[in-house]
């Protein structure tokens, strides 16, 4: 996976490719000791990271520029962080952490 990320970085001449290689290395290193559970954990990690990036982009570029007060800022951030935190704490996530 790390090699594929590096190859993608070289072929596309991406200026921030080191970040992609870092994320690929994190997924590989964290999931290496999990044997059969590694694939499911990696897919869950990628889905969660992609969803978080999409929500962060929506909040950062569509919602935050229209806000002026700290209370509005707190509410906008809380609308994403509270459900995300509740979802991460659910029992169905525990099998990935073993």
Would you state the pLDDT for residue 92?
A: 63
Would you state the pLDDT for residue 71?
A: 94
Alpha helices by DSSP H, the chain: 2-12, 17-31, 38-58, 70-88
What is the pLDDT tens value at each position of the chain, 98 positions in all?
Answer: 888 888 988 998 888 888 889 988 988 888 888 778 778 877 887 888 888 889 889 998 998 899 999 999 999 999 888 888 887 777 765 555 55
Give SS3 for 13: coil
Q: Which residues, 6+ apart, have CB-to-CB distance to 53 below 8 Å? A: none
Q: Output the CA angle 10-17-27, nearest 5 degrees.
A: 110
């Amino acid at each position: 996976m790390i090699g594929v990320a590096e190859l993608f970085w070289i072929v596309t001449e991406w200026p921030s490719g080191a970040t992609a290689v870092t994320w690929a290395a994190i997924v590989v290193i964290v999931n290496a000791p999990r044997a059969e559970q590694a694939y499911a954990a990696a897919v869950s990690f990628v889905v969660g990271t992609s969803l978080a990036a999409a929500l962060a982009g929506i909040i950062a570029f569509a919602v935050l520029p229209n806000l002026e007060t700290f209370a509005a800022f707190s509410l906008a951030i809380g609308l994403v962080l509270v459900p995300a935190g509740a979802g991460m704490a659910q029992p169905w996530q525990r099998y990935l952490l073993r």
